[in-house]
């Protein structure tokens, strides 16, 4: 009995120590005290953990933030069981999986693809648009042709087992309603600073489940789903894209940091702006992540439940809960 009591006491002590250390760690990592924290990578939602691992391999060997944010989110795009990113994602109402992605680097170069079908890595096509064309955004069959012309493979037009099951269920009522925090609108957005202090960002998604065929969200739109200014910082968004598009959300977060706001406060202010422009704000979820030039990061969401994965030299890839406007 005594041993059991001791064990319970010890477990409680360990748990509170862990919680204390985690809080302390997050305070340390998010305040640079004038010293640049680098490298750092953060990405949205739990699938961010595996994506961060991919990015960290590059960042920890002095690779560029641009390579890291591309390779990082490719891990998520590769996962055919993921219902909101890549070809395993939930389809639109016509049963087609259509993908959106964007990427931006420290030189202000950017590229995106939207409404892209049957290509496994839209993020790499977005990078190619950025690096090999005079354009920023390619869509639909044009984006697919560009991908095929550049060596990408046309994948079969098949839904994943789970996506097919969910789609068949949805067809019974065919009701369209984005659901809060349920993985039907959970983009992966990733922002990073590398060992040289350069910033980049990426964003990739299959978009809202059961959307109208042809709908494009915030993720491929530079300044909405993701934005980088190497002098200031980087930001990305997740959630219902229409609400983010209305306020050019990620650009707004970066501009608020330029005005001197901390990453946390910039994300919070952007959510407040979003609320003022979207009367339906109680029915949707949106979350922002931000990273400034010092390597300090922040997050804020509309609804509780938004979380993100953070990897740095101090924090070895852990999940953190974002603060939110609604509790």
Please report whether residue 243 would count as binding ligand GLY according to CB under 6 A.
Answer: no
Piece of 105-113, 123-131, 214-222, 299-307 that binds ligand GLY (CB under 6 A): 214-222
Piece of 106-114, 126-134, 215-223, 274-282 that binds ligand GLY (CB under 6 A): 215-223
CB 226 within 8 A of CB 237: yes
The least distance separating ligand GLY from the CB of residue 250, rounded to whole angstroms, comes to 11
Using CB under 6 A as the binding criterion, the count of chain residues that bind ligand GLY stands at: 12
Q: At 62, list the tokens.
A: 């002095």
Subset of 259-298 contacting ligand GLY (CB under 6 A): none
In angstroms, rounded to a whole number, what is the distance separating the alpha carbons of residues 236 and 250? Answer: 5
Please report whether residue 187 would count as binding ligand GLY according to CB under 6 A.
Answer: yes
Q: Of residues 44, 76, 187, 238, which has the active-site annotation?
A: 187
Subset of 223-242 contacting ligand GLY (CB under 6 A): 238-241
Handedness of CA 300, 301, 304, 305 (dihedral sign): negative
Between the alpha carbon of residue 275 and those of residues 111, 186, 325, the distances in Å are 28, 19, 9
Q: Which is nearer to ligand GLY, 187 or 324 (CB)?
A: 187
Q: Which is nearer to ligand GLY, 267 or 315 (CB)?
A: 267
Q: At 53, list the tokens.
A: 């691992």
Please report whether residue 43 would count as binding ligand GLY according to CB under 6 A.
Answer: no
Between the alpha carbon of residue 289 and those of residues 109, 234, 235, 270, the distances in Å are 20, 8, 5, 11
Please report whether residue 218 would count as binding ligand GLY according to CB under 6 A.
Answer: yes
Residue 325, phi then psi, degrees to nearest 5:
-70, -50
Catalytic residue check, 187: yes
The owner of tokens 């740095």 is: 312
The least distance separating ligand GLY from the CB of residue 131, rounded to whole angstroms, comes to 24
Please report whether residue 303 would count as binding ligand GLY according to CB under 6 A.
Answer: no
In angstroms, rounded to a whole number, what is the distance separating the alpha carbons of residues 311 and 40? Answer: 6
The least distance separating ligand GLY from the CB of residue 224, rounded to whole angstroms, comes to 9
Q: Which is nearer to ligand GLY, 234 or 240 (CB)?
A: 240
Q: Which is nearer to ligand GLY, 27 or 175 (CB)?
A: 175
276 SS3 class: helix
Nearest to 207 by CA among 232, 233, 185: 185
Count the helices and strands in the chain (H runs, E runs): 9, 12
Please report whether residue 217 would count as binding ligand GLY according to CB under 6 A.
Answer: yes
Subset of 189-208 contacting ligand GLY (CB under 6 A): 205, 207-208
The least distance separating ligand GLY from the CB of residue 25, rounded to whole angstroms, comes to 29
In angstroms, rounded to a whole number, what is the distance separating the alpha carbons of residues 50 and 281? Answer: 30
HEC profile of 126-174? HHHHHHHCCCCEEEHHHHHHHHHHCCCCCCCCCCCHHHHHHHHHHHHHC
Known catalytic residues are 187
Binding site for ligand GLY (CB under 6 A): 185, 187, 205, 207-208, 217-219, 238-241
């Amino acid at each position: 009995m005594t041993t059991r009591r001791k064990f319970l006491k010890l477990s409680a002590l360990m748990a509170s120590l862990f919680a204390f250390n985690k809080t302390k760690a997050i305070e340390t990592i998010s305040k640079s005290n004038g010293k640049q924290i680098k490298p750092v990578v953060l990405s949205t939602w739990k699938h961010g953990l595996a994506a961060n691992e991919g990015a960290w391999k590059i960042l920890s060997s002095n690779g560029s933030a641009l390579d890291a944010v591309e390779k990082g989110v490719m891990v998520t795009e590769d996962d055919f069981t993921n219902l909101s990113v890549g070809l395993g994602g939930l389809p639109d109402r016509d049963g087609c999986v259509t993908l959106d992605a964007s990427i931006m680097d420290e030189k202000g170069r950017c590229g995106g693809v939207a409404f892209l079908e049957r290509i496994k890595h839209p993020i790499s096509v977005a990078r190619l648009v950025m690096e090999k064309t005079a354009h920023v955004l390619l869509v639909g069959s044009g984006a697919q042709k560009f991908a095929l012309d550049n060596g990408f493979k046309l994948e079969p037009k098949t839904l994943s087992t789970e996506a097919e099951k969910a789609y068949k269920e949805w067809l019974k009522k065919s009701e369209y309603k984005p659901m809060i925090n349920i993985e039907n609108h959970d983009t992966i957005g990733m922002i990073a600073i590398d060992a040289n202090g350069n910033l980049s960002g990426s964003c990739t998604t299959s978009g809202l489940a059961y959307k109208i065929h042809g709908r494009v969200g915030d993720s491929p739109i530079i300044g909405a789903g993701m934005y980088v200014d190497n002098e200031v910082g980087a930001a990305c968004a997740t959630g219902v894209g229409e609400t983010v598009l209305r306020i050019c959300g990620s650009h707004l977060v970066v501009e608020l940091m330029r005005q001197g706001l901390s990453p946390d406060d910039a994300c919070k202010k952007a959510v407040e702006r979003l609320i003022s422009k979207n009367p339906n704000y109680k029915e949707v979820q949106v979350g922002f992540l931000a990273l400034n030039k010092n390597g300090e990061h922040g997050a804020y969401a509309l609804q509780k439940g938004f979380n993100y994965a953070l990897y740095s030299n101090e924090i070895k890839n852990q999940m953190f809960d974002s603060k939110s406007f609604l509790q």
